[in-house]
């Protein structure tokens, strides 16, 4: 496989983005399924994605299969697809892109990571200033009696899983179609903008949701530096100042390598 950084335009873009990022104090990073592709997870949309067909084999669109209405009406359909996602995530480890973002968090005075992903890989990589806007797969909940439990291995789960306390259907701690976003996650994102940002990067997402594209558009309108890392063009490609059509696991470590030496300047010579 050829090295994308052999391309002079990519190297120039990387240096320009790194120069502006190195001066930033308040950074917001936004990620989607693309950052986990190098961990072996398929993206959700597009060729080869988990949902590259418009209609599932249950005869409904994936958005309907993974909706709160379907969970309550036909939980076996929703859980069939939830287990498909959980099995795709099982045994996966963070990649160099996840790790680079976790390192950046420890470097910048204010660094927040907004992710659409429910795979838990940012958390596993060490990111803590994490806004999981779609929830995560680490916990199962009962909406009837309030029972909660850590999610066991997908291979051990019944479909649908049943609450041991009241026999109602359990659900994962993720946002299903037709549900509001988690109140805490929305509040955390609002707090990020109240404190201000001076660099926004968006990585591995088509930016199809307004709460994902919105922060990029807001930063661009304010004249702030923005960076997109994505092999494909997206809803926000025309807005960003810098664009690297690369995989996240290639671009983010290269970006961090240009910033990281500035953390620990060489010691003064002894006299």
End-to-end CA distance of the chain: 49
Long-range contacts of 45-52 (CB under 8 A, 24+ apart): 45/206, 46/232, 50/84, 50/85, 50/88
* 3-state DSSP assignment of residue 21: helix
- Alpha carbon of 111 to those of 23, 25, 29, 78, 234: distances in Å? 13, 8, 8, 35, 24
- Tell which residue, 145, 49, 134, 42, has the closest CA to residue 88: 42
Exposed, middle or buried, 145 (CB in 10 Å: 0-12/13-18/19+)?
exposed
84 tagged catalytic = no
Which residue among 98, 122, 123, 134 is the active-site one?
134
Alpha-carbon span 190 to 218, nearest angstrom: 13
Helices (H), 59-120: 62-65, 68-73, 75-89, 96-107
Cβ burial of 55 (10 Å; 0-12, 13-18, 19+) is exposed
Instruction: Report which of 146, 122, 147 is spatially closest to residue 136, judged by C-alpha positions.
Output: 122
Give the helix ranges, DSSP H, for the chain. Answer: 8-22, 62-65, 68-73, 75-89, 96-107, 121-125, 183-195, 210-221, 248-259
* Active site positions, annotated: 134
């Amino acid at each position: 496989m050829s090295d994308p950084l052999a391309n002079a335009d990519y190297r120039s873009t990387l240096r320009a983005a790194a120069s502006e990022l190195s001066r930033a104090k308040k950074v917001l990073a936004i990620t989607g399924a693309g950052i986990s592709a190098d961990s072996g997870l398929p993206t959700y949309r597009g060729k080869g994605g988990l949902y590259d067909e418009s209609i599932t084999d249950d005869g409904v669109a994936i958005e309907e299969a993974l909706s709160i209405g379907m969970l309550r009406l036909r939980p076996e359909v929703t859980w069939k697809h939830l287990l498909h996602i959980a099995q795709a995530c099982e045994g996966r480890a963070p990649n160099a892109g996840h790790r680079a973002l976790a390192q950046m968090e420890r470097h910048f005075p204010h660094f927040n990571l907004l992710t659409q992903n429910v795979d838990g890989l940012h958390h596993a990589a060490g990111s803590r200033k994490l806004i999981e806007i779609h929830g995560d797969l680490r916990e199962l909940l009962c909406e009837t009696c309030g029972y909660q439990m850590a999610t066991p291995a997908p291979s051990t789960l019944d479909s649908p899983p049943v609450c041991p306390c009241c026999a109602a259907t359990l659900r994962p701690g993720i946002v299903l179609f037709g549900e509001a976003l988690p109140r805490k996650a929305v509040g955390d994102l609002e707090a990020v903008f109240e404190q201000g940002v001076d660099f926004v990067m968006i990585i591995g997402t088509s930016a199809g949701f307004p709460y994902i594209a919105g922060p990029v558009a807001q930063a661009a309108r304010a004249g702030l530096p923005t960076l997109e890392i994505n092999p494909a063009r997206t809803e926000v490609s025309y807005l960003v100042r810098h664009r690297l059509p690369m995989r996240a696991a290639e671009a983010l470590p290269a970006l961090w390598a240009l910033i990281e030496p500035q953390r620990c300047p060489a010691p003064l010579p002894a006299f």
